[in-house]
A and B are shown apart, each in its own frame.
Chain A
Amino acid sequence: MRCHKAEKWFLRSCDGRLDDVRTAELEEHLRACSSCSRMAKEYRAMLSILRSETKDEPLPYFWERLQSKLVQERKSFALLLWEHWCLKAIPVFLGIVLACGVALIFFAPPGQTQMTQSELLLMRDKAPMSDVQSVFEEKPGEDRNIRFIFAASDEREPARRPIP
């Protein structure tokens, strides 16, 4: 066995990863080779110190300190979540409002208007003045005026606003 191989096998044996046959072969080599025997001693010493490092414990009140940080983190997380959603919700809301406005302007059904008596007659292709022609022809003029005044008060007030 070569010394290079012996070193490899020795390190594997330190981790319990060398089968019995190879372990026996290695031990035989270590007995025969003084430099490899020294190498094995050095590795054993080095690894025993590395492995003797004790498990350290964190500073006192580890969980209590962590718990207060968790509470803070949860609060800031909730705030972040809210901000995140707000940032998304605001443009979406504005978009909806804009879309509704556009829809109202372009696609709203035309509003119904209430027409005056004269306009209705005009729409029906009738002369609007035909009803009052006889009054105009009446004499004396005072009677005519009084009749116009009463007629005006009887007529409903015209409204031109669209009915929702």
Chain B
Amino acid sequence: MEDRKLIELAQEGNEESFSELVRRYQSKVFSMALNFTRDRETADDLSQEIFLKAYLALPKFRFKSEFGTWLYRVALNHVRDFLRKKGRIKEVSLEEIGEISVSDEGIEKREKEREEERRKRLLRASVETLPPKYRIVLTLRDIQGLAYDEISRVLKVSPGTVDSRLHRARKMLRKKLLPRLSLEGGFHALS
């Protein structure tokens, strides 16, 4: 069944339809919350609150935008409020992550996986140090995979602003990673 039909039924009070919408979007909403909080339990709580908020606001949804975009906006505002109230939580410092070493050919699979995880953590930690407006655009585009026009609708800014913010965010991120990685064989250690 299409989203529109499900939304209409959910607006009439059909719980089954709402549960289907939740199933369709729960991983997206959860991933977004997790990208900003870096804590599974907090992200799960936030996701529950986001869907609760969406459920209460659903009668006001007038199909002016896609449901996914609307839900992303609800989610993003909720996560922003949470971060504003609590401050950045569980921020990982670059020092905590430790050194990144270039993998040897004979390295074991488990070691490789651990290395991969460390690289990801380094990158996440660097993303977390970006100013919020750049961090949000970068997360939505490069981690969540939203299209430019979708991001512009979620954030209510022009596609040009999305473009320039994303460009600056990527530049800033590379700049942050450069000194860290130059000591350890450069960016090819990441790839």
Contact = CB atoms under 8 A, between A and B. Distances in A.
A and B held together in a complex = yes
A44 B191 contact: yes
The dominant DSSP class at the A interface is helix
Contact count band on B: 35 or more
A47 B51 contact: no
Given A56-B31, A58-B43, A70 B52 contact: yes
Nearest to B22: A63
Given A41-B187, A55-B31, A73 B148 contact: no
Main secondary structure of the interface of B (DSSP, over half): helix
B130 interface: no
B183 interface: no
Interface string A38-76: 110111111111111101111100110111011001000
A62 B123 contact: no
B22 A66 contact: yes
Interface string B96-118: 00000000000000000000000
A156 interface: no
A61 to B, nearest CB: 10
A46 B56 contact: no
B40 A42 contact: no
Interface string B120-159: 1001000100000000001001110100100000000000
Interface string B1-31: 0000000000000010001001100111011
A55 B25 CA distance: 11
B48 A69 contact: yes
A38 B47 CA distance: 40
Contacts of A49: 119-120, 123, 190-191
Interface stretch (B69-77, B85-93, B171-179): B171-179
A46 B26 contact: no
Shortest 9 CB-CB distances between A and B: which pairs? A45-B191, A42-B187, A45-B190, A58-B30, A50-B142, A59-B44, A45-B187, A56-B31, A55-B27
Interface of A: 7-8, 11, 15, 17, 38-39, 41-53, 55-59, 62-63, 65-67, 69-70, 73, 77
Given A51-B142, A51-B143, A53-B35, 17 more contacts: A15-B141, A42-B174, A45-B190, A45-B191, A46-B123, A50-B127, A55-B27, A56-B31, A56-B40, A56-B43, A58-B43, A58-B44, A62-B22, A62-B47, A66-B51, A67-B15, A69-B48
